[in-house]
Structure formats: structure tokens, C-alpha cells
Structure 1
Amino acid sequence: MLTTLWVRLGAFLGKVFLIVVALGLIGWLLATTWFAWHYRGPVSAQEQIPLGESAMTQGIIQTAISVVDQHRESTRYLRDAHAKAHGCVKAEVQVVSDLAPALRQGVFAEPGKVWQASMRLSNGNAYPQMDSAKDARGMAIKLMDVPGPQLLTDQQGRGEQDFVMFNHPNFFVSDVAEYAQNIAAQANGQSKQAFFPGWDPRTWQIRHMFIALGTLAPAPNSPTESTYYSVSPYKFGAANAKFRVAPDPQSCPQYSLPPQNQGLPNFLRNALNQQLSADRVPACFVLQIQRQDPSKFMPIEDTSIEWKESDAPFETVAKVRIPAQDFDTPALNLACDNQSFNPWFAIEAHRPIGGINRLRKAVYEAVSEYRHSRNAEQ
């Protein structure tokens, strides 16, 4: 009798398992079908600014400043994101010598041109933490002595072109409205509410949650081994484009990084210092652009959507070289902390576009001014 009971229980559990699997497959099929139908081209090649964006931006500025206040280090005020730098280094950005005419735009207009640049490598979090913690990793490049009017009318003396990136191809929010809700939840210590703001399943952002989890990746062996993406789009002459910076080891001397102690809190800085300062070996990358094809689903206003390489391949426009150098000194680290990177430190040919970039224009300026004014008082 007991054997019969166990057989029947096993058969029942087997049926339940098959039903759950079948429901899961049906759900996956329905979700895939809906996603393919909802997220399809064509899309606009022009910006589309929603009503109320300006008011939401002002609220986000106040939240970002509160994050800076919460996470200040002793008496020093840090960035509201990418607070911990692995170092700022000198770099050279050389436009490809045989660049196709259609790609000769802005700072890439002159084939073979070499730009002197500053590069900041960082963790993504709003407060410093162990490098071994799962986190986004950032790269910002600033080209120096760029001629022509700057986009920001009060920054005409800068002569800079900044490229700001992190190591994931898409962002975990679509637009300014979602960013407002997300950063408010994070600032209040309610991380679950960032993607599940209420009981209504229609407000849940499960896809974005998985993007965020994908962004929080284990640390690389070195900041020079990651690929970094702009995530948001920019003008590229008359076209729209995203860009990325990817390792290009074949353009540098062959190098194997010695094993690093990843238990140390700053092992990524140590790895960068090992290669550039101790072993005196440069690091090489390619800077690539991905031009929008509006007939495909490559939207400007939704940064949660990855532009597929099958729709538009990346094209190399420049080589980036970080020469051997000493960068890890108190004076240089302080200068690194004080340096501002902003996608709006730019010329018209590379104007940032889309909601997240419009948000950056206001937030970066306000947070930078607040942080520098508070640090000047210390």
C-alpha cells in the first residue's frame, strides 16, 4: 500500500513538473512574440521630448545631490556615480589613416590625426567599495585642444571632446521618467522598489532588472581588459550613432598581466599600475561607432534597447593607446578626483541626443558644481 502511494505521488509530481515546464515555455513564447512585435522598426531619427521631462529633471538633480551628501568620504564630496577611480592616465587617440569618407566627422575628420587625451577608469557605484564587488566599470576619455565652439555656451574655453562609457551595451532604464523612479528608490535604500514600484504587475520592470543584474558583473582582471559602451546615442555628423572602446592587444607589445591579489580593496588600480608603471607596457584599444539605421529597431529615446550588431556593425574610427607612465601619486590622484567628464563637453558634430543625455546635461553640471564648491570649502 505504501509503495502504491509513493508511485501515485511520484506520478502526480511528475505531471505537476511537466505542467510547470509547459506553462514556462508558453510564457516564454508569448513574451518573445510580444517583444518582437512591440520592439520593432522603423524608428525616428529625431529626438522626441516628452511632456514633463524638465520638471522630472529638476527632481532628479535634488536626489542626485542627496546621494552625494550621503556618500561623502570623510569631509570630501564624491561623484554621485563612478565615485571610485582606478586612475586617470594620459592617452593618445589616433584617427584611422584610411578612414572611409562617410566616417570623417567631427574629431575624426582628419585621417591620421593624433589627439592627446586624458582617460579616467572607475567603478560604477556611488560610493567606494571593494573592487571584487560586482559592479559596473567605467571609462571616460577627454580629447584636448579640440577647435571649434563648445556645446555649452559657458564652457567655450575648454576645447574638449568627452566620451563617457561603461561596460554594458544598454542601460537599465529607458528614459527620464524611469530614471527618476529608479534613483529615488535607490537613494531611499529601497532597491526592490527600483524595479517593482507597486503591486500592479504592469509597473514591474523585470527586463530592466535583468539588465541591471547583467551590469553588475564580476571584476575583470584589469580595467584594460573590458569593453566600454556609450549606451546613449550621439550625433555623428548628419547621422546618429553609439560608440564603444574595445581592447586591441595586437596593436601593443604582447603582455600577460601577473596574477593579482583580488582580495585587496584596490586590486584594479594595482593591476593598472603593474602594467603601465612597473612593467612599462602600454595598453591599446579601438574606438568604434555604430550608426543608426532608422529602418531597424534602433531607438534614440530608449537606452534600455541594445542596438544589434546584426542591424548595424561597429566601425573602427580611431586607435587608443595608453603609454607606459606613472599615474598613481597623491598629486595626480587629487587632480583625477577634481577632473570633470561630461558628454556635453563636446562639439556640435558629436552632440548628445536622447532623454538620458538631456538629463545628463542638467545633472552633471549641477552635481559637479555642488561637489566642487563643497570640496573647495574644506
Structure 2
Amino acid sequence: MLKAFWLWLGRVLGKLLLTLALLGLLGWGVGELYYAQKFSGPVANEEQIPPDEAALTRLIIEDAVRVVEQHRDNTRVLRDAHAKAHGCVKGEVQVLDDLDADLRQGVFSEPGKTWQAWVRLSNGNAYPQFDRARDARGMAIKLLDVPGEKLMHSPAHASEQDFVMFNHPVFFVRDVAEYRSNFAAQADGKKVLAFFPSWDPRTWEVRHLFIALKTLAPAPESPVATTYNSIAPYKLGPANIKYRVVPAPQNCPPYNLPEQNQALPNFLRNALYQQLSLDRMPACFELQVQKQNAQYYMPIEDPSVEWSEKISPFQSVARITLPPQDFDSREQNLFCDNLSFNPWHSLAEHRPIGGINRLRKAVYEAVSAYRHERNDAPQGQPAAQPE
């Protein structure tokens, strides 16, 4: 009797699991067909600015200030994102000698030119946490002594060109309106509402939830062992492009990082210190660009969509070298903590485009000013040249 019951229950559960699996496959297939139709070109090759974007941006700035106050430590106001640095190091960015003529724009206009830079490597969270926690990782590059008029007319940044990236190819929101809804929910401590703002399934952002979950990835073995992406698009002269930075160990002497103790809270800083300071070995990357082909679905205003590499492969434009150095001093850490990175610290040839970049201009500037004022830190001084 009992045996028969368990056999019957097993058959029922088996059929239920099979039904759920078939429904899941059906849902996946329908989703693939839907997005294949939705994400088809051509697309605009110019910006399209919604009328309510400025008002939403002001609300996001208010939420960002709330976040930095929620996550401040006992003495300092931290960044609203990428609060924890693994290191802020000196770098060199050398334009390739054989660069194609159409890529010779802005800071890439002179083949062979070497720019001195500050490079900040970080975790993405607004609150410093153990490196083993799933998180995004960021790279910000500040080229120094860059001549020419900049998009932001600030004396402190008049000679700088910034590039801001993190280690996932797409963003988990499509535009400023969704960013406001998502960010407000997180600032209120209601993370579930970030992707499910109401009971109406039409408002659910399941696809963007999966992007966010993929973005919160396990830590790499080192901050110099992962790829960083611009996410949002930029100009490169007349072209629309995206940037990425990829590790290029072939450009450096052979090096194997000793295994790190990932139970330590700051093992990514330790890995960077091991390579650059203890073993005195450089780290190498290549800076690459991907051009928009507007005949295909490569949108400017939706950074949640990845541009196809099959249609438009990335092209290397410069080599980045982090030379051996001592970087983990109190003075340098404080100096770099006071640095402000903004993609709008830029020549017109590298103009940021798209809604998320337009949002960054206002939010980064406002939060930076607020942070420096609360920390009583100087922000009217340009970044120093690495010695």
C-alpha cells in the first residue's frame, strides 16, 4: 500500500517537473522570438532626449545624496558607487603606432603618443564590503596634461580626459526613467521593487534583473585580470563607439600571480600590491573601440543591449601599462580618494552620448561636489602628474 503510494507520488512529481520544464522551454523560446523581433535594426545614430529627463535627473541626484549619507563611515562621505578602491595607481597609455586614420581622433590623434594617467580600480558597491562578495568591478582612467577645450569648463579638470568603465558589457537599466525607479527603490531599501515596481506584470523588468545578477559576479583573481566596458556609447570624432579595456599579458613579461587568500576582506588590493609592489611586475591592457553600425540593433539610448561583436568587432587603439610601483600609502590613497572621475571631463572628440551618459554628467558632478564639501577636501586643484 505504502509502496504504491510512493510510486504514484513519484509519477505525479515527475509529470509536474516535466510540465514545468516544457513550460520553461516554451517561455524561453517565446522570449527569444520576442527579443529577436524587438531588437532588430536599423536604429538612430543620433541622441533622442525625452522631455522629462531633466526633472528625473534632479530626483536621482537627491537619491544619490541619500545613498552617500546612508553609507558614510565615521569620518568620510564615500562615493555613491564604487566606494571601495583596490588601488589608485600610475599608468601609461600609449597610442598604437599603426592606428587606422579614421580612429586618429582626440587623444588618439598622434600615433605613438604616451599619456601619463591615474588608474583607479574598485568594487562597484556604494558601501565597502569583503572582496569575495558578488559585485561589479570598475576601472576609471584619468589622462593628464591633455590640451584642448573640454566639455566641462572646470579649471580643476581643464587638462584631463577621463574614461569610466566596469566589468560587464551591458547595464541593468535602459534609460533615465528606469534608472530613477530602480535607484529610488534601492535608496529606500526596497530592492525587490527595483525590478518589480508594481503588481502589473507589464512593469516587471525580468530581463534587466538577470543582467543585474550577472553583473554581481564573483571576484576575479586580481583587478588586472578582467575586462572593463564603457557600457554607454561615446563619440570618436564623427563615429559612435563603445570602449573596453582587455587584459593584454602578451604585452608584458610573463608573470603568474601567486594564489591569493580570498577569505581576506581586501584580497584584490593584496593581489595588485603583490604584482606591482612586491614582485615589481607590470600589468598590461589594451584599450579598444567598437563602432556602431546603425543598420543593426546597436542603440545609443539603451545600454542594456550589447552591440554585436560579429557585426562590429572591437579594434585596439592604445596600450595601457601599469608599471611596477609603490601605491599603497596613506597619502596616495587619500589623494586618489579625492579624485573625481567623470566621462564629461573630455574633449569634444570623445563626447559621451546617450541618456545614461547625460545622467552621469549631472549626478557625478553633484555628488562629487557634495562629497568634497562634506569631507572638507580640495576639489579646485587639478590631478597631479605621476612622478
Same structural fold, with TM-score higher than 0.5 when normalized by the shorter chain = yes
Partner residue, 1:15: 15
For the pair 1:317 / 2:329, whether they are aligned, the reply is no
Q: Are the aligned partners of 1:150 and 1:156 in contact in 2 as well (CA < 8 Å)?
A: no
Q: Deviations over 1:107-165 (max 9, x none)?
A: 11111111111100000000111111111000000111111100012348621110000
Q: Deviations over 1:19-57 (max 9, x none)?
A: 222222221111110110011110000000012000000
SS in 2 for 1:225: coil
SS in 1 for 2:154: helix
Q: Deviations over 1:189-214 (max 9, x none)?
A: 11111111111111111111111110
Length-normalised TM-score, structure 1: 0.97
Q: Deviations over 1:52-106 (max 9, x none)?
A: 0000000000000111111111121110000011111110000110111111111
How many Å apart are 1:243 and its aligned residue?
Answer: 0.4
- The count of aligned residue pairs is 378
For the pair 1:274 / 2:274, whether they are aligned, the reply is yes
How many Å apart are 1:221 and its aligned residue?
Answer: 1.0
SS in 1 for 2:141: strand
Q: Are the aligned partners of 1:149 and 1:156 in contact in 2 as well (CA < 8 Å)?
A: no
Q: What code does the residue aligned with 2:160 have? A: E
Partner residue, 2:385: none
Q: What code does the residue aligned with 2:45 have? A: A
SS in 2 for 1:296: coil
Partner residue, 1:131: 131
1:13/1:362 CA distance change after superposition, 3 Å:
same
1:49/1:256 CA distance change after superposition, 3 Å:
same
Length-normalised TM-score, structure 2: 0.95
For the pair 1:308 / 2:308, whether they are aligned, the reply is yes
Partner residue, 2:383: none
SS in 1 for 2:211: helix
Q: Are the aligned partners of 1:124 and 1:136 in contact in 2 as well (CA < 8 Å)?
A: yes
2:9 & 2:85 partners in 1: Cα distance? 58
- The gaps in structure 1 that reach 5 residues or longer are none
Q: Are the aligned partners of 2:338 and 2:377 in contact in 1 as well (CA < 8 Å)?
A: no
Partner residue, 2:284: 284
2:287 & 2:20 partners in 1: Cα distance? 46
1:68-217 matches, within 5 Å, as: 68-155=68-155, 158-217=158-217
Q: Deviations over 1:331-355 (max 9, x none)?
A: 0000010011100000000000000
1:377/1:258 CA distance change after superposition, 3 Å:
closer
2:277 & 2:358 partners in 1: Cα distance? 38
For the pair 1:335 / 2:351, whether they are aligned, the reply is no
Q: Are the aligned partners of 2:232 and 2:354 in contact in 1 as well (CA < 8 Å)?
A: yes
1:122/1:6 CA distance change after superposition, 3 Å:
closer
Q: Are the aligned partners of 1:90 and 1:322 in contact in 2 as well (CA < 8 Å)?
A: yes
1:139/1:157 CA distance change after superposition, 3 Å:
closer
1:85 & 1:67 partners in 2: Cα distance? 18
Runs of 4+ in structure 1 off by over 6 angstroms are none
How many Å apart are 1:14 and its aligned residue?
Answer: 3.4
1:156 & 1:9 partners in 2: Cα distance? 72
Q: Are the aligned partners of 1:149 and 1:347 in contact in 2 as well (CA < 8 Å)?
A: yes
Partner residue, 1:57: 57
Q: Are the aligned partners of 2:150 and 2:347 in contact in 1 as well (CA < 8 Å)?
A: yes
Q: What code does the residue aligned with 1:273 have? A: Y
Q: Percent identity?
A: 63
Q: Are the aligned partners of 1:239 and 1:291 in contact in 2 as well (CA < 8 Å)?
A: yes
1:302 & 1:349 partners in 2: Cα distance? 21
RMSD between aligned residues: 1.5
1:115/1:193 CA distance change after superposition, 3 Å:
same
Q: What code does the residue aligned with 1:24 have? A: G
Q: What code does the residue aligned with 1:209 have? A: L
- The gaps in structure 2 that reach 5 residues or longer are 379-387
Q: Are the aligned partners of 2:123 and 2:138 in contact in 1 as well (CA < 8 Å)?
A: yes
